[in-house]
A = this chain, B = another copy of it.
Amino acid sequence: MPELRKDPIIGRWVIVATERARRPDQFANPVRETVPEKPCPFCEGAEAQTPSEIYAIRTKNTPKNSPGWDLRVVPSQTPFLKIEGELERQGKGLYDLMSGVGAHEIVVETNQHIGNMSDLSEDQITNVITCYIDRIIDLEKDQRFKYVLVFKNYGFSAGGGRVRHARSQLIAMPINPKRVKEELVGAHEYYEYHERCIFCDLVKQELAQKDRLILEIDGFIAVVPFASRFPFEVWILPKKHSCDFVSLSADERKNLSKILKQVLLKLKVGLNDPPYNYIIHTAPFRRQKMGYWRTINDDFHWHIEITPRLTRIAGFEWGTGFYICPVTPEAAAKFLKEVTIK
């Protein structure tokens, strides 16, 4: 019998199609699109091919936009939003619009031509995390912005383009994305009723129940969510309550790097290097001004959502918000748990 499962945070129902279910190992060969690689503008030595750098981790005394760096942030060459201009809002009859001000930055995670973040060292991944935090803190100073979306598209069918050089993206925006709002509202309603953070409860239940738990490392857990939309979806959550990704201490960054690398390696080894996306879900800026969102510090709990691209998403899924997951979260978790990495 298939099951309908409800995401406890935003209330989305998902069909876990046990009847149609495939065995986890049947996903190990994702449809691979072979696209010719383009010359890489992100390698050391190619600095002139990107816009001028905003941030870098560099060997002392090496000049900006020249070799000698480990990590580099540059503006997107084809930005979705523009940094210049006033934030203007207007109505057009029924409709609302806003000028598209924002920032769109590319975090080049290594000076070498390595594609998958799983193959970076823990120190390199720690640098990436620190860079995210530094850039978010800097972008928060711009009063026009409400949120910074931090995400990664790896592989062509995950939107990673035709250059296989590990990088992530930051988009600072004058609005809160819909899904972030829904999580804030859902977590708030739960808190109002229970006086507890829903994510803290989720962490406790997953640790006790264990059947969706993949890893538990130094203050973090990696789980397949109970109502996962996609096969092998993985969430990484800190055990310690905090709404804000930016609050991570130096040690916590190292530990996050460790668990993130292990999850990404398990996906790579177990599922034959699939395309994937991850998104950091953290609290918005300026939350003291936000009406009932003033309780976000208590309600919300930052986390990372990682979604491999192993199936085609049918149109009705994004048209209805109603997903069908062809593998049970428990089977996916068991499979990933058992993948051995060196």
Contact = CB atoms under 8 A, between A and B. Distances in A.
Nearest to A316: B151
Interface stretch (A3-11, A114-122, A216-224, A248-256): A3-11
Interface residues of A, number: 72
A30 to B, nearest CB: 14
Tally of this chain's copies: 2
Interface string A307-342: 101001111101111101000000000000000000
A6 B96 contact: yes
A80 B20 contact: yes
Nearest to A88: B1
Interface string A285-311: 000000000000000000001010100
A277 interface: yes
Contact of A5 (B96, B305, B312, B318): B96
A277 B169 CA distance: 29
Contacts of A4: 81, 97-100, 173-175
Contacts of A313: 159, 313, 318
A158 interface: yes
A151 B324 CA distance: 15
Interface of A: 1-6, 8, 10-13, 15-20, 78-82, 85, 93-100, 149, 151, 153, 157-159, 169, 173-175, 177-180, 182, 198, 201-202, 205, 209, 226-227, 229, 276-279, 305, 307, 309, 312-316, 318-322, 324
A20 B171 CA distance: 15
Given A93-B209, A320-B178, A315 B277 contact: yes
25 contacts: A1-B82, A3-B99, A4-B81, A5-B97, A5-B98, A6-B95, A15-B80, A16-B100, A20-B78, A94-B202, A95-B227, A149-B316, A149-B320, A153-B314, A153-B315, A159-B313, A159-B314, A177-B322, A178-B321, A178-B322, A179-B322, A276-B315, A279-B316, A305-B319, A307-B315
Interface of A is mostly: mixed
A279 B182 CA distance: 23
Contacts of A158: 314-315
A151 B177 CA distance: 27
